[in-house]
């Protein structure tokens, strides 16, 4: 069986180089990563290194670091030029019970340290995240912010070359409407977590591996042409929102909030302002008949 100590994965235009002290087997990572594997380095690249011992500093709080986040499974500290993630698993089936992540300021260099993991364990682990945490969402939130992007609690679709987002909190009907669109053979890009980036003067949405409860994902992308805020209702109707204040208010409720310092948030706010200028936003209400799909299709020339 072929084994490697380095692999490349690409998502949203960012290449992640994974370098490990152990050999990486076909089963080290969940099969979902196959879709994102690329053969060579990219222009915009970050590096994640896996080590199988704890670092000398042992994840303790360093001089000049402040605690920025504390909620299981994460305890996160930041200094001017580095971040430390202490991860303690609460998941019974998690092969990594604790890990320490050491990131430089822009996360372009990430070192993950864990103990009590043999080469054999690592080869068969089927990890759900390249960071060895329970999700890679937190590093992507930072990557996207630094690249005119953000993450939205939404399902993404490619409809006839048009990227659309169905946004709403849990229970808002994203899965129901997604099911209807899938029946119409529209391609889902990702369930529950969508990556958005402004590239070449347009906003694009990207499939990724950080999906929610449904393992619906792809490595595709599409220009973002419409964001739909889901509303409870008995009618089938789509209304474009023209009031920018309403858009900001609704958007702020579905953003996946990244961990950023004040400079990071300034960049994030600029991205939101740009997005509001360039993307169309809608309220959508639907029943279970599926007729709302015809209205969506019509909107995008299907």
Partner 1 sequence: MSFTADINAIYQPSENVISKDIEGQFMIVPLISGVGNLNEEIFQLNTTGSAFWKKLDGKTSFGDIMVSLTLEFDAPYETIKKDIIHLVDQLIKKKFIFEVR
Taking alpha carbons only, the member of 100, 97, 101, 139 closest to residue 121 is 97
Cβ proximity to partner 1, 63 vs 242, nearer residue: 242
Can you tell me which of 66, 72, 90, 234 binds partner 1, judged by CB under 8 A?
66
- Cα 35 from chain centroid? 15
User: To the nearest whole angstrom, how small is the minimum distance from the Cβ of residue 155 to partner 1?
Assistant: 19
User: To the nearest whole angstrom, how small is the minimum distance from the Cβ of residue 68 to partner 1?
Assistant: 5
Binding region for partner 1 (CB under 8 A) out of 48-56, 220-228, 229-237, 267-275? 267-275
C-alpha–C-alpha distance, residues 106 and 180, integer Å? 40
Query: Is 71 an interacting residue with respect to partner 1 (CB under 8 A)?
Result: yes
Query: Is 265 an interacting residue with respect to partner 1 (CB under 8 A)?
Result: yes
Contact 203, 221 (CB under 8 A): no
C-alpha–C-alpha distance, residues 69 and 85, integer Å? 9
Can you tell me which of 261, 287, 291, 294 binds partner 1, judged by CB under 8 A?
261
Cβ proximity to partner 1, 248 vs 288, nearer residue: 248
Query: Is 273 an interacting residue with respect to partner 1 (CB under 8 A)?
Result: yes
Can you read off the two tokens belonging to residue 202?
A: 């347009």
User: To the nearest whole angstrom, how small is the minimum distance from the Cβ of residue 266 to partner 1?
Assistant: 8
Can you tell me which of 70, 120, 232, 298 binds partner 1, judged by CB under 8 A?
70
Residues of this chain, 79-98, that bind partner 1 according to CB under 8 A: none
Binding region for partner 1 (CB under 8 A) out of 101-109, 127-135, 199-207, 265-273? 265-273
Query: Is 266 an interacting residue with respect to partner 1 (CB under 8 A)?
Result: yes
User: In the 8-state DSSP scheme, what is residue 46?
Assistant: E
Can you tell me which of 276, 283, 285, 300 binds partner 1, judged by CB under 8 A?
276
Query: Is 259 an interacting residue with respect to partner 1 (CB under 8 A)?
Result: yes
Number of residues that bind partner 1 (CB under 8 A): 26
Cβ proximity to partner 1, 69 vs 91, nearer residue: 69
User: To the nearest whole angstrom, how small is the minimum distance from the Cβ of residue 257 to partner 1?
Assistant: 7
Burial state string for 189-210 with b = 16 or more CB within 10 A and e = fewer than 16: bbbbbbbbbbeeeebbbbbbbb
C-alpha–C-alpha distance, residues 169 and 198, integer Å? 24
Q: Name the residue with tokens 């310092």.
A: 261
The phi and psi torsions of 268 (rounded to 5 degrees) equal -60, -45
Cβ proximity to partner 1, 185 vs 263, nearer residue: 263
C-alpha–C-alpha distance, residues 209 and 129, integer Å? 8
Cβ proximity to partner 1, 9 vs 83, nearer residue: 83
Cβ proximity to partner 1, 232 vs 244, nearer residue: 244
Residues of this chain, 239-258, that bind partner 1 according to CB under 8 A: 244-245, 247-249, 252-253, 255, 257
Can you read off the two tokens belonging to residue 155?
A: 């399902």
DSSP string, 88-142: E---TT-S-SEEEEEEETTSSEEEEEE-S--HHHHHH--BSSTTSSS-SHHHHHH
Q: Which value, to the nearest 10 degrees, does the dihedral of the CA atoms of residues 117, 121, 125, 130 take?
A: 40
Q: Which residues bind partner 1 (CB under 8 A)?
A: 66-71, 76, 244-245, 247-249, 252-253, 255, 257, 259-262, 265-266, 269, 272-273, 276
């Amino acid at each position: 069986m072929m084994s490697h100590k380095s692999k490349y994965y690409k998502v949203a235009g960012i290449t992640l180089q994974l370098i490990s002290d152990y050999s990486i087997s076909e089963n080290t990572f969940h099969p979902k990563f196959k879709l994102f594997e690329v053969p060579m380095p990219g222009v915009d690249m970050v590096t994640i290194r896996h080590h199988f011992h704890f670092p000398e500093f042992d994840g303790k709080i360093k001089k000049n670091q402040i605690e920025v986040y504390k909620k299981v499974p994460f305890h996160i500290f930041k200094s001017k030029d580095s971040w430390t993630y202490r991860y303690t698993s609460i998941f019974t089936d998690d092969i990594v019970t604790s890990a320490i992540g050491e990131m430089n300021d822009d996360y372009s260099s990430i070192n993950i340290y864990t103990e009590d993991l043999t080469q054999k364990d690592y080869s068969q682990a089927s990890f759900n995240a390249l960071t060895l945490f329970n999700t890679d969402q937190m590093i992507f939130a930072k990557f996207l912010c630094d690249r005119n992007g953000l993450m939205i609690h939404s399902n993404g679709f490619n409809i006839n070359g048009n990227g659309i987002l169905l946004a709403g909190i849990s229970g808002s009907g994203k899965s129901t409407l997604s099911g209807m669109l899938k029946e119409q053979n529209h391609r889902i890009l990702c369930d529950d977590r969508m990556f958005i980036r402004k590239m070449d003067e347009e906003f694009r949405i990207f499939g990724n591996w950080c999906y929610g409860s449904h393992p619906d994902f792809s490595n595709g992308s599409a220009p973002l042409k419409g964001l739909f805020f889901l509303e409870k209702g008995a009618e089938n109707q789509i209304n474009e929102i023209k009031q920018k204040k309403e858009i900001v208010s609704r958007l702020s409720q579905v953003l996946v909030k990244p961990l950023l310092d004040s400079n990071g948030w300034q960049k994030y706010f600029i991205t939101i302002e740009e997005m509001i200028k360039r993307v169309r936003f809608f309220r959508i209400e639907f029943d279970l008949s599926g007729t709302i799909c015809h209205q969506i299709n019509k909107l995008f020339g299907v």
